[in-house]
Structures are given as structure tokens and as C-alpha cells.
């Protein structure tokens, strides 16, 4: 029930799907921020467990973290396994929603480079480096300034993810994996409602 009620954006306004988020951003001329994160989940048991551990050891990866879920967005179902952020965004239908929807600005990190060209410039990623070696001092200064400016605008999504992971259910998920999507969306809904209520209360003082 909590997952189905969506996220509270303002009193009386709830968003439940990625399409609703894009429409809301366009209608209110607001900037969106996208990012992905990983949540540790309980280790699975099965015939392939020993083989998987051996494969992880050969790759030099941490054995205890091979079972992961990466939510694509606060309002979108998560998917198991390690996968590039840009792949999750495409699978969520973000490219089509932005290409066919309103003109909005979406800030993303370097993991989403390539979406800008596919969405008519709606997805903005950090500036590319034109000089890989022996860059002039003036270029390094400009590039660093642009990179920091972009990062400072995106810092809110980092804080949002950190607030989500303050919840024990998402710090390390010990429940059934098929309930992971509902858990993420339920926590996001509770957190967004709390933040909206706090903001409304502060404005009324």
C-alpha cells in the first residue's frame, strides 16, 4: 500500500511513475536529477553458489556483495545484478519519455553520457575532456570549474540516496528479493512525505 501511494512532491501532488515525473518537471519547469545506487541483499542459496563464489574470487571481487540490486529511480522497480546506470535508464523507458515528452532538463553523472544525444540534449552530463594529455593550464581551469558547477547542482541526489539508505531495510536488505521493488518505493514514499511535511511546517512558521 505504501509503495502504491507514490512520492509526495507537494501537498496534494503524488507521483507514481517515471512518466508522471517527467510530465511534472515539464509542467513546472523544474530540473530533474537522476542517479543509481546499489543495495546489498541476502546471499542466495542454490547449486550455482560454489561456482559463483569461485568466479568472484577469480575476479578479485568481494564475496559478500555478489547479490545486489540497483534501483533505477525512486519510483521505478529495481533489477538484480550489477549493471550500468545508463542501461537501467534505457530499460526504464527514459529515452522515449524524454524524446516524446516536454522539454525538461535532467542532470546526470558521467555514467549517463550518451543519453544527451539520444534525448535532444535533455540529459546533461559533466563536460568531456577535449585534451587527454598535455592540456593547457587555461583549459584545466575551465574544465574543473565546469565540472564542479555540474557536481554542485547534482549534490541533492547524493543526499537523497543517503537518506534512503539510513533506513535499515535499505542499508542491507534481508527480506525476499521479489519484495525489493515495493520496499524501495515504500521507503521513498515515506521519506518524501516526511520531507514535504517538514518543509510545509517550516514555511508556516
Give domain limits for the chain. Answer: 9-204
- HSE, CB side, 13 Å, CA atoms: give it for residue 188: 27
Residue range 103-131, pLDDT digits in tens: 899 999 988 988 888 998 999 999 887 77
For the residues of 94-138, what is the DSSP string, one character each?
HHHHHHHS---EEE--GGGTTHHHHTTT-EE-PPPPS-SSS--HH
* Mean pLDDT of the 74-102 span: 77
pLDDT band at 171 (very low <50, low <70, confident <90, very high): confident
Amino acid at each position: 500500500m505504501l509503495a502504491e501511494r507514490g512520492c509526495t512532491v507537494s501537498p496534494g501532488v503524488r507521483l507514481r511513475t517515471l512518466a508522471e515525473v517527467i510530465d511534472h518537471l515539464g509542467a513546472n519547469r523544474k530540473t530533474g536529477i537522476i542517479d543509481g545506487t546499489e543495495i546489498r541483499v541476502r546471499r542466495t542459496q542454490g547449486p550455482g553458489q560454489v561456482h559463483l563464489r569461485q568466479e568472484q574470487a577469480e575476479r578479485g571481487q568481494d564475496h559478500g556483495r555478489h547479490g545486489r540490486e540497483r534501483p533505477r529511480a525512486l519510483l521505478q522497480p529495481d533489477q538484480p545484478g550489477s549493471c550500468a546506470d545508463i542501461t537501467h535508464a534505457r530499460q526504464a523507458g527514459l529515452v522515449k519519455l524524454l524524446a516524446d515528452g516536454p522539454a525538461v532538463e535532467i542532470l546526470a553523472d558521467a555514467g549517463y553520457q550518451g543519453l544527451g544525444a539520444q534525448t535532444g540534449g535533455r540529459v546533461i552530463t559533466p563536460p568531456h575532456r577535449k585534451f587527454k594529455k598535455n592540456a593547457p593550464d587555461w583549459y584545466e581551469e575551465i574544465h574543473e570549474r565546469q565540472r564542479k558547477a555540474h557536481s554542485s547542482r547534482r549534490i541533492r541526489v547524493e543526499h537523497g540516496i543517503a537518506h534512503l539508505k539510513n533506513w535499515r531495510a535499505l542499508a542491507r536488505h534481508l527480506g525476499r528479493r521479489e519484495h525489493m521493488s515495493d520496499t524501495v518505493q515504500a521507503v521513498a514514499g515515506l521519506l518524501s512525505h516526511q520531507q514535504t511535511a517538514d518543509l510545509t511546517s517550516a514555511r508556516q512558521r
